[in-house]
Amino acid sequence: MPSASFHFPKGFLWGTATAAHQVEGSNTNNNWHRWEQEGHTNGKSGLACDWWGGRWKEDFDRAAETGQNAHRLSVEWSRIQPAPDRWDEDALERYRSMLRGLRERGITPMVTLHHFTDPLWLAEMGAWETEAVVPLFEKFVRKVVEALKEYCSLWCTVNEPNVYAAGGYLSDTFPPGKKNVRLAMSVLANLARGHAAAYRAIHALQPEARAGYAWHYRPMVPARPWSPLDRLVRNIQYNGLNITFPSAVSTGVMRTPFGRVRIPEAKGTQDFLGINYYSVDTVAFDLRVPGELFGRRFYPKDADLSDSGFNVNTPEGLFDSLRWATRLYPDLPLIVTENGIECADDHIRPRYLAQHIHQMWRGVNFNWPVKGYFHWSLVDNFEWERGWTQRFGLWGLDVETQARLRRPSVDLYAAICKENGLTSGMVEKYCPEVYEKLFPE
Ligand code: FCB
């Protein structure tokens, strides 16, 4: 058997990503809490991973002991600003101790300022539907950066604007479940304005900061490449989901089905791009889905599917995502801010990890400026409308007892982080089924 390794540049960030509402527990003052109470989710977040109760300490210990040198977490706006005219200094202090806790463990924090949830008071005002949100978000960002900059200089302004807008305004999976394309576009434009305002505020307060946004990039392939209709619906879906916001940040203009929206203040507002990559979609023309503009997205029958079929192991898609980013934003540093698969018994995760890291390494070998990788996630957590039905953690979680379960992927990822690379020995030990693919004779 060949013995080989795929190494990464010195200083590469290896970590995991989490989001406040998904891990903290007892978040009762935001739109997701209300969404849960109204019965739109599969179970309720409840105590989640009980980070707000202090269990972040043991989870950060786990991350540090297994060689991770970075962690991406988010702060919960509704805790820090429970009402428009009220700041909760204790909540900020709690976040300060969490970040200090990361630093003490040798872990570099990346803080996300908006990860899907909105305070109830903001939701009452229509959240991101109107421009009124922009100065409010900027004020919140200033407060947070001022309080946390001692420990953090790597900021993610907004998480997955496309998923936020599509979930809440094209489908009814996310609050407010409105299904209104025009509103979805306004929301996306306001997220771009909010991102730009946040970017400038961060730099005004912390000149050495590096700020960017995390983008959910979704490669898509036509089901039958020879079919013009499949190619057409593929292009419509692909452009709709992937392109609008990133090109607004590159050009200052957002093209929507309703015309062009000028957002000149957004142009060039990023020091890195965060890429959240999960799976490649196949798209077929299908008259039965008018709501999806006749493009049905699915995974092929023989695909390497996750437990609930929510995502699939298509590692080349990560390479394609990085290539797309380098073409849109030449020379911009890239960070994989999320990547993972839901699998309770861990039978797919080791090969998913190894194959994706291999694809990222291919990108590094084209001198693409990839600076870090954050696996989703450190421990199983509350998966939005899918609730507790999906298990994305390196560590499992027993929701009743709060016990953590060490999955074999923990040891594979630890080996990768410590080696700053992937070796043939690791693949042989943790996922021999893909050995031939990664190390062909
Ligand atoms: C992403 C979200 C993240 C998590 C993963 C599985 O879209 O950003 O919070 O739910 O999906």
Whether residue 238 has its Cβ less than 6 Å from ligand 1 = no
What 3-state class would DSSP assign to 94?
helix
| Least-confidence region, from 100-104, 236-240, 263-267 | 236-240
Instruction: Indicate the pairing of strand 259-262 with strand 253-256.
Output: antiparallel
Residue pair 192/249 in contact (Cβ under 8 Å)? The answer is yes
| Angstrom distances, CA of residue 313 to CA of 29, 59, 304, 339, 425 | 36, 26, 5, 11, 21
What is the model's pLDDT at position 368? 98
Torsion over CA of 248, 249, 251 and 255, rounded to 10 degrees? Answer: 0
d(CA 178, CA 176): 6
Instruction: Indicate the pairing of strand 281-285 with strand 220-222.
Output: parallel
Could you tell me which of 307, 290, 320 has the C-alpha nearest to residue 218?
320
Cα 344 to ligand 1 centroid, rounded to whole Å = 17
Whether residue 338 has its Cβ less than 6 Å from ligand 1 = yes
pLDDT in tens, 150-202: 999 999 999 999 999 999 999 999 999 999 999 999 999 999 999 999 999 99
What is the model's pLDDT at position 387? 98
Residue 139 token pair:
């004020």
- In the block, tokens 């013009």 appear at 228
Instruction: Indicate the pairing of strand 253-256 with strand 220-222.
Output: unpaired
Choose which residue among 16, 213, 376, 390 to substitute to test ligand 1 binding: the one with the highest number of ligand atoms within 8 A of its C-beta: 376
| Phi then psi dihedrals of residue 268, to 5 deg | 75, 15
Q: Tell me how many degrees the CA angle 321-323-327 measures, rounded to the nearest 5.
A: 115
CA-CA-CA-CA torsion sign (138, 139, 142, 145): negative
Whether residue 277 has its Cβ less than 6 Å from ligand 1 = no
Q: DSSP string spanning 326-376?
A: HHHSTT--EEEEE-----TT-SSHHHHHHHHHHHHHHHHTTT--EEEEEES
Residue 292 token pair:
């999806």
pLDDT in tens, 162-171: 999 999 999 9
Structurally, what CATH architecture does the domain formed by 5-438 represent? Alpha-Beta Barrel (3.20)
| Phi then psi dihedrals of residue 193, to 5 deg | -65, -40
What 3-state class would DSSP assign to 273?
strand
Tell me the pLDDT of the chain averaged across its residues: 97
What is the model's pLDDT at position 47? 98
pLDDT (average), residues 79-89:
98
Whether residue 404 has its Cβ less than 6 Å from ligand 1 = no
- Domain residue limits, the chain: 5-438
What is the model's pLDDT at position 1? 65
Confidence of residue 441 (pLDDT cuts 50, 70, 90): confident
Whether residue 279 has its Cβ less than 6 Å from ligand 1 = no
What is the model's pLDDT at position 3? 85
d(CA 417, CA 403): 24
| Angstrom distances, CA of residue 13 to CA of 67, 290, 323, 379, 416 | 11, 43, 20, 19, 11
Cα 250 to ligand 1 centroid, rounded to whole Å = 24
What is the model's pLDDT at position 292? 84
| 78-87 burial code (b ≥16 CB/10 A, e <16) | bbbbbeeeee
Residue 244 token pair:
């609008």
Q: Which atom of ligand 1 is nearest to the CA of 216?
A: 7
Q: Looking at ligand 1, which residue's alpha carbon is closest to its atom 9?
A: 19
Whether residue 19 has its Cβ less than 6 Å from ligand 1 = yes
Give the list of residues 6+ apart from residue 366 with CB closer than 8 angstroms, or none: 323, 326
What is the model's pLDDT at position 291? 81
Choose which residue among 156, 218, 338, 394 to substitute to test ligand 1 binding: the one with the highest number of ligand atoms within 8 A of its C-beta: 338
Whether residue 342 has its Cβ less than 6 Å from ligand 1 = no
Whether residue 384 has its Cβ less than 6 Å from ligand 1 = yes
What is the model's pLDDT at position 112? 99
pLDDT in tens, 19-78: 999 999 999 999 999 999 999 999 999 999 999 999 999 999 999 999 999 999 999 999
Whether the full predicted model's pTM is greater than 0.75, yes or no, is yes
Cα 94 to ligand 1 centroid, rounded to whole Å = 24
